[in-house]
Amino acid sequence: MGRTILINIVRFVLLIFIQAFLLKNIGFYNLSIPFPYILFIMLLPFEVPNWLLFLLAMATGLTVDAFYDTAGLNAAACAVLAFVRIVFINVTVERQGFENEPEPKLGIMGFRWFFIYTVVLTLFHHVTLIFLEAFGFFDIRDILTRVFFSSLFTIFLIVISEFIFFRKKER
């Protein structure tokens, strides 16, 4: 248990550092902005209680908001991400027989499950974040373009990072 907490603290610090200091100024014509910090929330163990998951999601979002000067936008998007994570895991994990697995990682859950998990959670996060940022439906085509390209870039970074730290499941 202590090792898991330490790993998650290091993961949190590393992902926030990468987001705030390396990726903050990376954007392609304001169409594609990567947000791989959501990987911290996505990789939390299954047994994390829901109240703690929401607390960690809000803390993660508020930390990113502090670096981006975005007054709670990332915190709101992370809260939506936490909710969708709970629903997705309740729907898929119990039905597919992954009850005994400790956390939702590529090496444990398999590529297909992890990729769908990443796509769904990233899309919900980005739709929430970008719609809240735009605060309206005035230029819906521009908003949907930003959601698509930002999600694509983020999914690519998350999947690549999981392949870098890929470990086969131990049974």
pLDDT tens column, 87-129: 999 888 765 555 556 778 887 788 899 999 999 999 999 999 9
Residue 99 lies in a domain: yes
* Joined tokens for residue 143: 């908003």
pLDDT at residue 15 is higher than 60: yes
Residue 171 lies in a domain: no
Between 55 and 30, name the one with better pLDDT: 55
* pTM of the shown model: 0.88
pLDDT tens-digit map of 42-99:
999 988 999 999 999 999 999 999 998 888 999 999 999 999 999 999 888 765 555 5
Grade residue 159 by pLDDT with cuts at 50, 70 and 90: very high
Q: Cα–Cα distance between 31 and 56 in angstroms, integer?
A: 28
For range 161-170, the mean pLDDT: 73
Q: Cα–Cα distance between 153 and 15 in angstroms, integer?
A: 16
Residue 106 lies in a domain: yes
Range of the domain at 20: 2-164
Residue 170 lies in a domain: no
Residue 169 lies in a domain: no
Indicate the number of domains in the chain: 1
Residue 11 lies in a domain: yes
> Torsions phi, psi of 27, nearest 5?
-165, 140
Predicted local confidence at residue 39, as pLDDT: 93
